[in-house]
Amino acid sequence: MKPLPSLKNLYYLVNLHQEQNFNRAAGICHVSQSTLSSGIQNLEEQLGYQLIERDHKSFMFTAIGEEVVQRALKILTDVDDLVELVKNQGEPMTGEIRLGCIPTIAPFLLSRLVKQCQASYPQLSLLLKEDTTERLLVSLGKGELDLLLLALPADVTGYHSMKVGIDPFKMVIHKDLANNVHEPVDYQALPDESIFLLQSEHCITGHAISACKLGDSRKVNPFAATSLHTLVQMVNSKLGTTFLPQMAIDAGILKDTDLVVLNPPGDSPFRDIGLVWRQTTSRIRTFRTLGLEVQKLLQQKIDG
């Protein structure tokens, strides 16, 4: 049998590729820079190909090196899943789940989810990360996260997903301006640049535009907010209106404001909420059980 590359050396290679710096990668791996460098050289000798081109000041990954990194990521992720399966003896709702969540859901749902899981599943630990959909999917693919809580639709090609509920959209506007807006809302009656939205990297912007049938871009203000809380501040200053998800309203984002809630155009516009995980995971029972817990929370919020 041919000698196989060690997982340790594959781990060194993946972290060097991620950090693009020997010193930082060595720090993450908790080894010296020379140990990391020797491990990668040993990997090259075992494989019989050069993975990195080096000189005294810089380095770059070769084409085959890039391919090996991607294969190594999958191998390390599968090994992590195997270890979790054995450690938890196949029992669901035990061990750690590295859960990623988008900023337009995390502040309004995660704390309640953690409390609910602590009460119902004391052997389960949720490790949380908040980021944009695009970056969370990258982390999931690299094995840095186990599970994502996202707003759908999103491009989750190559992953499994589970819809856990819906989150309706509402329009909010300052009470002093509300008399000028009648339901059902007619966008054409709104002033140009009077609708405030999040930056395009936040998926809720596209979801809201699509669900609420906002087709006239002239109505959208060029200012793009970084968070829902910023949108609330802008609208509370009587600068216009915006769309907010129901879960944010239920969580009290409008507290201490003079904003009122309106129904936007469209057939009860909403976004889907779902869980996403890798197809190769061994923890499907755990993820589906957690999905049912999220489902309960969303129903509680919507139903009152």
pLDDT band at 301 (very low <50, low <70, confident <90, very high): low
- Weakest-pLDDT range from 79-93, 183-197, 220-234: 79-93
Q: Give the pLDDT band of residue 133 (cuts 50, 70, 90).
A: very high
Q: Residue 89: its pLDDT value, please? A: 66
pLDDT greater than 60 at residue 66? yes
103 contacts 202 by C-beta, under 8 angstroms = yes
pLDDT at 171 over 70: yes
b/e per residue 244-255 (b: at least 16 CB within 10 A): bbbbbbbbebbe
Question: Which residues lie across from 273 on neighbouring strands?
Answer: 151, 165
State the Cα–Cα distance between residues 256 and 241, nearest whole angstrom.
17
Q: What is the pTM assigned to this prediction?
A: 0.80
- Distance (Å, rounded) from C-alpha 66 to C-alpha 243? 42
Give the torsion sign (CA, 245, 249, 255, 258).
positive
Tokens describing residue 140: 């999931």
- 112-130: pLDDT as tens digits: 999 999 999 999 999 999 9
Bridge partners (DSSP) listed for residue 225: 198
